[in-house]
Amino acid sequence: MRAIALFSGGLDSVLAMKLIVDQGIEVIAVNINTGFGSTNDRLEHIKNMCEQIGAKLEILDLRKEFLDEVLFDPKYGYGKNFNPCIDCHGFMFRYAGKLLKKYDASFMISGEVVGQRPMSQRKDAMMQVQKLSDYDELIVRPLCAKLMPKSKPEIEGWIDREKLLDINGRTRTRQLELAKEIGLENFEAPAGGCLLTEIQFSQRIRDFVEHGHMEVDDINTLKAGRHLRLPDGAKLIIGRNEEDNDKLFATKSLKYLKARIIDASGPFCLFEKNASQKDKELAANIIVTYGKTEPDKIYEVNFQEYILEGQKFPTKNELQKYFILG
C-alpha cells in the first residue's frame, strides 16, 4: 500500500506523513512549486524532513499551470490578499492525484487541520477542496481525520482510523508534543510561507495584471527589488541589495531591459521595454538617484538598447508616488 502526500515542508504535513508511515504504508511526499511558496529556499529542509520520516520526495513544478488555472480566476475567490487557498488546495490534490498511477498509490493525504486557517481549513472549505480535486473520496487528513467524514481508505480498511487524530484549531500544542515524541529534529523551517498571503506582494500582482499578462518568468521579477510604476505606465524595478541584483540579472523575461549606471556604481535595474520617452528619461533620473552619485553631476545609464543621461533627484521623497505599495 502506498500513499501520495501533499508536502509543504511544514510540521503538520511531516506529522501527517509519519502517522501513515507508522501504519506500514509507503509515502511519496509531493512538494508542489507554485512559484509563490518556498520550495527553492527550503529545499534542504524539505529533503531533511523526508529523510527523517522515511518518505520519498517528488517536486512538481506547476508554476505555469497555477497561473493558467488558479491564480486569476479562482472559483472560491481569495483570502485576505491574493491567496486563492481553496482553489489552490484543490489544484494541488488534482495534480498530486495524477501521480497515483505512476506510483501505484491508493490514496492521498495532507497535513491540513480543521479550523487552523480561516479560509481553506474550515470543514466546509475542506469538503469544497475535495470536490475540486477530482479525487474526493481518496483524500485523508490524518491529523484531523476523526473530525471528518470517513474516507474510502478508512472504510475499506486500508488504514486504521483509530490511529488517526482529531486535532482541531489554531494552537499547535499537540503537533509540538507529537514532534517531540517521534524525535523529529529541526522541524521549524527558516522563513517560508506563501507570498500570496502578503499584502505588499499581492499589491504588486494587482498592479502587474492591470498592465499586462503574467507569465512564469514574471514571478521572480515580482519577488525582488523596489517596484515603481511611472506616469505613462512603464515598470521600473530597482535592486535593493546584492541578492536582488542577482535575481533581477537572472531574469529571462523579454519584457524588460537590464539597466545600470555606466560611470558610477549603482543598483541593477529592470525597465520595461516599450516605455514612452518621458518614462525613459524619468527612469534614468531615478536610477541615478539610487546610485552612488552626486547631485549636480550628469551620469549615463545603459539600458541595453539605448543610453540616456540622468541626474539625481534632490531627495528620494519625491519618488514615493511611483512606488507600488500595499
Q: For ligand SF4, which is the closer residue by CB, 31 or 245?
A: 31
Q: For ligand SF4, which is the closer residue by CB, 94 or 280?
A: 94
Show the cell assigned to 133: 480535486
**Site size for ligand SF4 (CB under 6 A):** 11
Sole binder of ligand SF4 in the list 16, 20, 85, 126 (CB under 6 A): 85
The phi, psi pair for 249, rounded to 5°, reads -65, -30
Closest distance to ligand SF4 from the beta carbon of 33 (Å)? 10
Contact string 24-63 vs ligand SF4 (x = CB under 6 A): ----------x--x--------------------------
Pairing of strands 107-109, 2-6: parallel
Q: Which stretch binds ligand SF4 (CB under 6 A): 85-93, 163-171, 284-292, 318-326?
A: 85-93
Q: Which stretch binds ligand SF4 (CB under 6 A): 16-24, 104-112, 193-201, 285-293?
A: 193-201
Q: For ligand SF4, which is the closer residue by CB, 90 or 291?
A: 90
CA distance 25 to 88: 26
Rounded to a whole number of angstroms, the CA Rg of the chain reads 24
User: What's the N-to-C CA distance of the chain in angstroms?
Assistant: 48
Q: Give yes or no for a contact between 45 and 7, defined as CB atoms under 8 angstroms apart.
A: no
Helices (H), the chain: 11-21, 43-53, 63-66, 85-97, 99-102, 123-133, 152-155, 173-181, 199-211, 216-223, 242-249, 277-289
How many other CB atoms sit within 10 Å of the CB of residue 198?
A: 17
CA distance 326 to 199: 5
Q: For ligand SF4, which is the closer residue by CB, 66 or 290?
A: 66
83 binds ligand SF4 (CB under 6 A): yes
Sole residue written with cell 539625481: 312
Closest distance to ligand SF4 from the beta carbon of 196 (Å)? 5
14 binds ligand SF4 (CB under 6 A): no
Q: Which stretch binds ligand SF4 (CB under 6 A): 79-87, 156-164, 168-176, 199-207?
A: 79-87
Sole binder of ligand SF4 in the list 29, 55, 179, 196 (CB under 6 A): 196
Residues of this chain, 265-304, that bind ligand SF4 according to CB under 6 A:
none
Q: For ligand SF4, which is the closer residue by CB, 37 or 266?
A: 37
Task: Give Dmax over CA atoms of the chain in angstroms.
Answer: 79
Q: Which stretch binds ligand SF4 (CB under 6 A): 47-55, 108-116, 194-202, 268-276?
A: 194-202
**Rounded to whole angstroms, what are the CA distances from 128 to 3, 65, 141?**
21, 20, 14
Instruction: Identify which of 174, 60, 63, 165 has the alpha carbon closest to the alpha carbon of residue 109.
Output: 165
Sole binder of ligand SF4 in the list 194, 282, 283, 301 (CB under 6 A): 194
Q: For ligand SF4, which is the closer residue by CB, 6 or 238?
A: 6
Q: For ligand SF4, which is the closer residue by CB, 34 or 133?
A: 34
* Element at 302 (helix H, strand E): strand 298-302
Using CB under 6 A, list all residues that contact ligand SF4.
34, 37, 83-85, 88-89, 120, 194, 196-197
